[in-house]
Amino acid sequence: EIVLTQSPATLSLSPGERATLSCRASQSVNTYLAWYQQKPGQAPRLLIYDASNRATGIPARFSGSGSGTDFTLTISSLEPEDFAVYYCQQRSNWPKTFGQGTKVEIK
């Protein structure tokens, strides 16, 4: 099983600041990685797929990069609605696995 480790666990930032979230895989997943956003009481929302492709309707302030084992989700300038938990997910191997999440909270 591919283990995805996200860091940091919590990121405390102010609106307008840049957020950088990391996801590290226990073995190469090529670029078969996605990022999701989840707000309390809501289902997850797909942000990025195949490491760097924005999903439909996702604002340009969200960007993804990386390949192999190291990936980054960047939010260029945090909006109030961006404070949430973010998960990475790999589709390279079965079982499909998620990271444990990074919470982006208001400082």
Partner 1 sequence: EVQLLESGGGLVQPGGSLRLSCTASGFTFNNYALSWVRQAPGRGLEWVSTISGNGDSTFYTDSVKGRFTISRDSSKSTLYLQMNSLRAEDTAVYYCAKDLCSRSGGSCYFFDYWGQGTLVSVTS
**Which residues contact partner 1 (rule: CB under 8 A)?**
34, 36, 38, 43-46, 49-50, 55-56, 87, 89, 91, 94-101
> Under a CB-based contact definition with an 8 Å cutoff, are residues 27 and 2 in contact?
yes
Give the residue with the Cβ less far from partner 1, 17 or 22: 22
Contact partners, residue 80, CB within 8 Å, separation at least 6: 15
d(CA 92, CA 86): 19
Residue type, 37: Q
d(CA 92, CA 31): 8
- Closest contact distance (angstroms) between CB of 89 and partner 1 is 7
Give the residue with the Cβ less far from partner 1, 20 or 100: 100
Give the residue with the Cβ less far from partner 1, 62 or 87: 87
Query: Which residues partner with 34 through β-bridges?
Result: 89
- Closest contact distance (angstroms) between CB of 104 and partner 1 is 15
- Closest contact distance (angstroms) between CB of 14 and partner 1 is 26
